[in-house]
Amino acid sequence: MLSRLLIHNVVLIEKLDLDFKKGLTIFSGETGAGKSVLLSAVAMVLGGRADASMIRTGADKLSVEATFEVNLENKAFWDLIYQNELEVENNEVVIKRTLSADGKSKIFVSDQAISLKLLKQIGETLAEINGQFESVGLLKDSTHIDVLDAYGDYAKERLQTADDFKNYKKTEEMLYREQAAYEQNKQEKETLEHYAGELENAGLYAGEEIELNQKRAQMMNAEKLSADLNEAYRFVRGEEIAGAVRHALSAIGRANHLTNGQYDNIETLLNEALSGFDEAAAEIEKSAADLSFNENEINAVEERLYALKSLARKHGVCVEELPDVLAQIKSKLETIQNNENAVLTLQKEQKVALEKYLKSADVLHQKRVEAAKNLEYQVENELQFLKMEKAKFRVLIQDGLMSEKGSDNVKFEAATNEGEPFEALSKIASGGELSRFMLALKVCLAGQSGVETLIFDEIDSGVGGAVAEAVGNRLQKLSQNVQVMAVTHSPQISAFSQTHFKVEKKTIDGKVMTTVRRLDENEKKEEIARMLSGEIVSDEARAAAEKLIYGDK
C-alpha cells in the first residue's frame, strides 16, 4: 500500500508530505483546488506522463517520492525486483522521480537508478488509477483473460497449460528444422544413391591405378622384355661364365687344400656366386613365363583404367581418392536417413505434445467457464446494490488461437438496460454507469491482481443521493481488502472514509499554492456539511452531515 507521498514543486504544490493508512481515504475540495494535480503527481511516480510544464513557476525542478509497503504475495512486483537485480529492504520500496526544467529526468527505486520503462512495469504492480474517461486495464479486452484467471484462482492449471504449450512449440520448432533439412537433403538422395551404387559396383580398392599402370606397362613391353629376359637367361646359363666360376672354384679348392683352408672365404664366395647364378636363372625363367601377350587382357586393363578415370573426372578427384568419395557419399546418405528418422520421431513427439496441451487447455477452459459464471453472478449482485438492477454482465469465452494461456478468447461485456444487446465495457456511454461497472468489478476482483492500492478519480460523476451512498458503501467494502483512495465531490461517498484529506488553494506570501491537510472528525463533518450546503454551512447541513457519517449505512 502507499504509505507516504512527498511532492515538491509540482504545478501549484510547493511542498507536501502526506502519510496514508489502510482503508478508504477520501480527497475532497472545491473545483480547481488541485485535486487533479495531486493525482498527476501520483501517476508520475508510477510511470505516468511528466513534462517541464508541470514544474512550479520559479522552481528549477520538481520531485515526487512515494513509499509503498509491498506484500510478499505481490508476485508480479517481486519478480520484477529480482529479475532486475534491485534491492528492497523490509518489504518497503521508495520510488523517487525528478524532472528538471531542461527536461532531464531521474528515476530511483530505493536509491537505485532505473529506466522509465521499468518504472511503468513496477508501477502497474503497486497501484491503479481509475479515471472516468481513462482507458484503464479493465476496458481493454486483452486484459480480460488474465483478470478472469486471477479471479478464478487456478494458477496451477494455467501454469500446466503454459508448460505444455512451450513443450509443444519446442517440438514444433525442432520438427520444422529437421523437416527443412530433410527436404533439402531429399533432393540429393537419389543422386547420391546412384553415385554410391556406381562406385560400389566399380569394386574400388586402394592402389589399383598404380597396379594397373604397372601391368599395362609390362604388357605393352612384353615382347621386348621377353627378349631381354631370354638373353639374360642365356648368359646366366651359358658355359662361359658358369664354367669360368667352376674352374676358379676348382683352382681355389686345390690352393686351399695345400694351405689348410687359408682361402676358405674365397671358396665360399665362389660357391655363393655359382648358387646366385642358378637362382637368377630360375627367376628369369619364371618372369619370362609370367609375361602375357594376350591382346584381350591388354584391352581389359585399358578399359578398367578408362572407367576409373571417368569416375574420377565425374567427381572431380583423382582415381586414388575415389574410395574416399564413396565413404563420403555413404556418410551423407546415413545423415539423410538419420534425418528422416528424426522427422518421424519428432512427428510422433509433436502429436503427443499437442494432445497433452489440448488436454491441459481444455481443463483450463472448464475452469474459466466455472469462474465466468461466478464472476457474472457476483458482478450483477454488485450492480444491483449500486442501483443498476437492470444491468447485465457477461463473460464471453470463445475459441481463439493456441497460446500459453490456452485457446480461449475472453471478453467482458455489459448491457446497461433491459432488452439492450451486450457490448464491450468500453462502449458504455454514461460516465456514471461506467464508473459503477468498474467499481462492481473491482469489488469482485479485490485482492486478485496483487495491486494493493486503488485510486478512483471522480467516481461520483453522474451519480448522487442513494446511488452515491451505495458507491461509498462499496468503496468501503473494497477497502477491507485493498487500500482505496478516491477523489470526490460527493458528501455521501465522503461519509464512508476512514481518512479524509481536504485539498485547498490558498494565497501565501502573495503566491497561489495548493495545500492538502488531514481532517479530524469534526473537520470531516464540517467539510461534508459544506459539500451538502455550499460555501455557507447551515446547522441543517451539519445535522445532515452527522447523519451521513454516523447514521445506519
Backbone phi, then psi, for 501, in 5-degree steps?
-110, 140
The whole-angstrom separation of Cα 362 and Cα 368 is: 10
Backbone phi, then psi, for 130, in 5-degree steps?
-105, 105
Q: What is the percentage of the chain residues whose pLDDT exceeds 70?
A: 94
At which of 278, 306, 338 does a domain end? 338
Backbone phi, then psi, for 506, in 5-degree steps?
-130, 155
pTM above 0.85, yes or no: no
128-184 pLDDT, tens digit per residue, is 887 644 445 677 888 899 889 989 989 999 999 999 999 999 999 988 887 887 777
User: Both 531 and 512 in a single domain?
Assistant: no
Residue 470, pLDDT above cutoff 70? yes
- Does residue 345 lie within any of the structural domains? no
User: Both 51 and 117 in a single domain?
Assistant: yes
User: Both 492 and 544 in a single domain?
Assistant: no
Q: What is the percentage of the chain residues whose pLDDT exceeds 90?
A: 37
Q: Which of 144-148, 438-442, 534-538 has the lowest mean pLDDT?
A: 534-538
- Does residue 368 lie within any of the structural domains? no
User: Both 277 and 240 in a single domain?
Assistant: yes
User: Both 511 and 524 in a single domain?
Assistant: no
User: Both 127 and 205 in a single domain?
Assistant: no
- Average pLDDT estimate for 355-382: 95
Q: Comparing C-alpha atoms, which of 437, 440, 468, 438 is closest to residue 378?
A: 440
186-238 pLDDT, tens digit per residue, is 767 767 777 777 777 777 777 777 888 877 777 777 667 777 888 887 777 76
Place of cell 492500492: 453
The whole-angstrom separation of Cα 118 and Cα 482 is: 24
Q: Comparing C-alpha atoms, which of 67, 56, 163 is closest to residue 100?
A: 56
In this prediction, residue 13 carries a pLDDT of 92
User: Both 222 and 265 in a single domain?
Assistant: yes
Handedness of CA 421, 427, 431, 436 (dihedral sign): positive
In this prediction, residue 46 carries a pLDDT of 93
Range(s) of the domain holding residue 535: 520-553
User: Both 542 and 504 in a single domain?
Assistant: no
Residue 232 CB neighbour total at 10 angstroms: 16
- Does residue 208 lie within any of the structural domains? yes
Residue 3, pLDDT above cutoff 80? yes
- Does residue 480 lie within any of the structural domains? yes
In this prediction, residue 492 carries a pLDDT of 92
Coil, strand or helix at 100: strand
User: Both 191 and 260 in a single domain?
Assistant: yes
Q: Which residues contact 252 (CB under 8 A, 6 or more apart)?
A: 263, 266, 267, 270
- Does residue 412 lie within any of the structural domains? no
- Does residue 411 lie within any of the structural domains? no
The tally of domains found in the chain comes to 3
The whole-angstrom separation of Cα 504 and Cα 501 is: 10
The whole-angstrom separation of Cα 352 and Cα 345 is: 11
**Cell numbers standing for residue 436:** 459503477
- Average pLDDT estimate for 68-77: 88
Question: What's the chain's average pLDDT?
Answer: 86
Q: Comparing C-alpha atoms, which of 181, 551, 160, 142 is closest to residue 343?
A: 181
251-277 pLDDT, tens digit per residue, is 888 888 888 888 889 888 888 887 887
CATH number for the domain including 504?
3.40.50.300
- Average pLDDT estimate for 369-378: 95
In this prediction, residue 553 carries a pLDDT of 46
Q: Comparing C-alpha atoms, which of 409, 486, 405 is closest to residue 442?
A: 486
The DSSP H or E segment spanning 308 is helix 295-315
Is beta strand 453-457 parallel, antiparallel or unpaired with respect to 483-487? parallel
**Cell numbers standing for residue 400:** 481463439
User: Both 512 and 550 in a single domain?
Assistant: no
In this prediction, residue 252 carries a pLDDT of 85
- Does residue 82 lie within any of the structural domains? yes
User: Both 323 and 188 in a single domain?
Assistant: yes
- Does residue 383 lie within any of the structural domains? no
Q: Give the strand order in the sheet containing 24-28.
A: 127-131, 453-457, 483-487, 24-28, 499-508, 511-518
26-41 pLDDT, tens digit per residue, is 999 888 888 888 888 9
- Single-letter amino acid, residue 456: F
At which of 300, 316, 338 does a domain end? 338
The whole-angstrom separation of Cα 405 and Cα 410 is: 11
The DSSP H or E segment spanning 383 is helix 322-385
- Is 447 in contact with 482 (CB distance < 8 Å)? yes
User: Both 527 and 509 in a single domain?
Assistant: no
Residue 533, pLDDT above cutoff 90? no
Please classify residue 142 by burial: count the beta carbons closer than 10 Å to its beta carbon, then call 0-12 exposed, 13-18 middle and 19+ buried.
exposed
The whole-angstrom separation of Cα 93 and Cα 138 is: 26
Q: Give the strand order in the sheet containing 406-415.
A: 392-403, 406-415, 423-424
At which of 306, 338, 370 does a domain end? 338
In this prediction, residue 405 carries a pLDDT of 95
The DSSP H or E segment spanning 210 is helix 208-220
- Is 309 in contact with 208 (CB distance < 8 Å)? no
The whole-angstrom separation of Cα 224 and Cα 204 is: 31
Place of cell 534491485: 86
In this prediction, residue 417 carries a pLDDT of 85
